[in-house]
Amino acid sequence: MAVERTFVMIKPDGVKRGLVGEIISRFERKGLKIKALKMKWLTREEAEKLYEVHRGKPFFEELVDFITSGPVVAMILEGDSAVEVVRLMIGPTDGRKAPPGTIRGDFALDIGANVIHASDSRESFEREYKVFFSDEEIVGDY
């Protein structure tokens, strides 16, 4: 058993559509533990930092505009193989192709406005959570 952490962010479309409770509920029912939780309206600078791996891609400006268009809800989740498990639960990037039963498959119909972000590796987690949380904001074992 490899207990690990992942970073999840409900994007502005998910928050505006009132999907926060539904989405957190899915992770809780799965057995993942919430280790940190925060609502925040990102500045452009913070959004560019979060998505720095995409700088220079054709959709980068559109992505930063979208992510700063409203508040997001960010969290750190912990559990066995959390990075892989959460990526499976959110589904592929394009909501039109994401299978029913996944979060994007059930709630998204777009490749950009796709409700949720999750780290795709342990390395991404280490970089991404720091945009939102200090280590003191991560709760201890419970």
Choosing from 63, 73, 75, 115, the residue that interacts with ligand RTP (CB under 6 A) is 63
Distance CA 124, CA 5 (A): 11
Q: Are strands 3-10 and 72-80 parallel, antiparallel or unpaired?
A: antiparallel
Active site residue 54: no
- Specify the residue, 41 or 59, whose C-beta has the smaller distance to ligand RTP: 59
Beta-bridge partners for 8: 75, 118
Instruction: Kindly provide the b/e burial profile for residues 51-73, where b requires at least 16 CB atoms within 10 angstroms of the residue's own CB.
Output: beeeeeeeeeeebbebbbbebbb
Minimum Å gap between C-beta 136 and ligand RTP is 26
Interface characters, 86-105, with ligand RTP (x: CB under 6 A): -------x------------
102 is in an annotated binding site: no
The answer to whether residue 20 forms part of the interface with ligand RTP (CB under 6 A) is no
Going by the annotation, the residues of the binding site for ATP are: 11, 59, 87, 93, 104, 114
